[in-house]
Amino acid sequence: MDKKLRDYIDYIEKASDEPSEELIEYHKVMTQQFQHERFIHLIVTMFFALFLLIFFALFICLSIFLPQGYAADYLLIGIGLITAIFFVVTLFYVRHYYQLENGTQKLEELTKKLFKR
């Protein structure tokens, strides 16, 4: 998605020298699609962050209140592993959302540039 957004921004920057009605309509549609993609990734990022917090709280609570033993150690290792996985995935989703947000803001600047001409 990042490459698609960068390619589109490069294309619209080159084509915006002589804007036409078709280009403006195409730009509106593509901007809406990128905004929709950004919104979907925001929702997914928030869910992963929520699951990360839930599993982290579960890990902390179990490590405090669960009696020590053979089964409890494996349970804590499993919950800790799931928490680590959610942490890494959440980091990647936040990075991806950040790039989508900045790209969408760049598209809004290009929209202003198109309508000025």
pLDDT digit string, tens, across residues 40-98: 999 999 999 999 999 999 999 998 888 887 778 889 999 999 999 999 999 999 999 99
- Cα(35)–Cα(14) distance, integer angstroms: 21
In order, the DSSP letters of 52-72 are HHHHHHHHHHHHHHSPPSHHH
pTM: 0.80
Higher pLDDT, 24 or 89: 89
Contact in structure between 111 and 27 (CB atoms under 8 Å): yes
Contacts of 107 (CB under 8 A, 6+ apart): 8, 9, 12, 27, 30, 31, 34
Confidence (pLDDT) at 113: 82
What are the domain boundaries of the chain? 21-116
Confidence (pLDDT) at 117: 67
